[in-house]
Amino acid sequence: METSKVIHAIYTDDDVLMSAVKKVKAERHHIEEIYTPFPVHGLDKAMGLAPTRIAITSFLYGCVGLIVAIVMMNYIMIEDWPQNIGGKPSFSYMENMPAFVPIMFELTVFFAAHLMVITFYLRSRMWPFKEAENPDPRTTDDHFLMEIAVHGNETELESLLRETGAVEIKLIEKEAH
């Protein structure tokens, strides 16, 4: 199997990490991944990650939920068996709509929330029994790890990372997927 080389630089402070990211980006090195124990505010911007589109998916899922509710209630209550239940007008959907609004609202929220969460799981590849992709267990506690691809420029990279305040620098042979 082919292998690629990466450098793991470990930091112990999120402010140091942020300035290191800016420096590494300024030197035009590609940052493969950063592992942190908690969300670091502004890290995505510093790394230049594209903004998430999950809110847009959620809006669309909400629209689907609304349509499902409308079609369902219209079919059941108006078209299939328009009974007179307590004098409520079941002649058309609009006439009886206020009674359906709670369902329409809840299904909109239900679809928007659940499908968005599932989208999140799929896009971030998370599921039960998933093998953790953690290069160093300390990054779940109090260390920050930056992974940079190496293309024959190890010494230069190493000295740059040393300068940025990395407490540990390791060269790793990584199995390519």
Partner 1 sequence: MYTISNKLKTFSIALIILGLLGVGYGFMTSHKSFEEVETMLAEETAHHGGGHAVATEAHVVADDSDHSDNSHQANAHDATTDVEHHVDDHAKHVEHVQHQIANRPWSALYVAAFFFFMIALGVLAFYAIQYASQAGWSPVLFRVMEGITAYVLPGGLIVLAIAVASGTIGHYNIFIWMDPDVVAHDKLLQGKSGWLSLGWFAVRGLIFIAGWSLYRHFSRKFSIANDTATDNSNFKKAFRISAAFLVFFIYTESIMSWDWIMSVDPHWFSTLFAWYVFAGMAVSGITVIAFISLYLKSRGHLEIVNDSHIHDLAKFMFGFSIFWAYLWFSQFMLIWYANIPEEVTYFITRIEDYNGLFFGMLVLNFVFPFLVLMNSDYKRIPWFVVMAGIIILIGHYIDVYVMIMPATVGDRWSFGIPEISSVMLFAGLFLFIVFTALTKAPLVVKRNPFLKESEHFHY
At closest approach, how far in Å is the CB of 87 from partner 1? 7
Query: 98 or 137, CB closer to partner 1?
Result: 98
Per CB under 8 A, residues contacting partner 1 are 55, 59, 87, 98-99, 101
Our CB check for partner 1 shows the closer of 6 and 78 to be 78
Please, which residue, 88 or 123, has the CB nearer to partner 1?
88
Rounded to a whole number of angstroms, the minimum distance from the CB of residue 161 to partner 1 is 30
| Closer of 43 and 169 to partner 1 (Cβ) | 43
Count of CB atoms situated within 10 Å of the CB of 110? 15
Min dist CB 98 to partner 1, Å, is: 5
Residue 52 Cβ vs partner 1, minimum distance, rounded to whole Å: 11
